[in-house]
Structures are given as structure tokens and as C-alpha cells.
Amino acid sequence: MFAKLFGDDDHQVLMVLESNDEDNPCITVSCQPPDMGVCSSRLIFNDWTDADEAFALMDEIRAQDMAGGIRNLLANSSGKSS
């Protein structure tokens, strides 16, 4: 499995196990905050074993927590409160 999709229509979170531009293994977390386009953040790992293990642990709760962090960061940088 290289991708997981969590949440309902308004709170979807997509997690993808892939490599970044430097060929490091990573997990890309994407969500779409209200009134914004799709936003992503990456967790970068030193090796595929660690990335695979972390990806295996990703569940709905972790996905929504990570998406909440992205939304909060964006809200704080734009002066909005979440």
C-alpha cells in the first residue's frame, strides 16, 4: 500500500508513501482547509524501513491530527483562528 485516504468529504486527508526530490523516503500528508486549495506537508525519513513502519501506523486519528496541524499553521499565518 502506498496511499491512504481518511475522512469524509469536508475533512479528507490523503497520505502517500513516496520519495521527495532528493530521493529520500517520505510521507506526504495532504488536506484542503476551508477556502483554500489542497495543502501538503512531508515527513522525511533517512531510510525506507523507518518510512514503511511509520506509514503502517498511520490511522484516521493520526491523519486528522496532522491535517489539524496544517490547518492551524495556515490559519495562524493568515491571521485567522481555527
Q: Where are the domains of the chain?
A: 3-67
| CB crowding 3-34: b at 16 or more within 10 Å, else e | ebebeeeeeebbbbbeeeeeeebbbbbbbbbe
Give pLDDT tens digits for 5-33: 999 888 899 999 999 999 999 999 999 98
As a whole number, mean pLDDT of residues 28-46 equals 92
How confident is the model at residue 47, as a pLDDT?
A: 96
At the topology level, CATH places domain 3-67 in Nuclear Transport Factor 2; Chain: A, (3.10.450)
Residue of 22, 76, 67 lying closest to 46 (CA atoms): 22
Q: What is the dihedral of CA 17, 22, 39, 66, to 10 degrees?
A: 50
Q: What is the DSSP letter of 47?
A: S
> What's the pTM value of the predicted model, to 2 decimals?
0.84
Confidence of residue 36 (pLDDT cuts 50, 70, 90): confident
